[in-house]
Amino acid sequence: MWIASYFTANLMATQVKGITPEKLMKPFLPKKTTGAKEVERKEFFKEFYSQRKEAAKCQP
């Protein structure tokens, strides 16, 4: 479906401004619960801070 939405968005972009594959796919994507969003947020920051620590080790 992502491939179809990509090509559809490209065709529609000639007539409609601001159309993206993400906008076309939005009704078909599963809705995230509040708990799932919180878990995703925590995992993002955990990974972010671990990468930041790793980068700090490389700095003189």
How far CA 9 is from CA of 3, 15, 38, in Å, comes to 10, 10, 31
- Report the C-alpha gap between 22 and 5 in whole angstroms: 8
Supply the range of the domain harboring residue 25.
2-58
Q: How many separate domains does the chain show? A: 1
Entry pTM? 0.49
Structure tokens at 22: 């993400």
pLDDT of residue 60 exceeding 90: no
pLDDT of residue 44 exceeding 80: yes
* Lowest model confidence (mean pLDDT) among 32-36, 41-45, 47-51: 32-36
- Report the C-alpha gap between 1 and 41 in whole angstroms: 26
- Report the C-alpha gap between 25 and 7 in whole angstroms: 12
46 — pLDDT class (breaks 50, 70, 90): very high
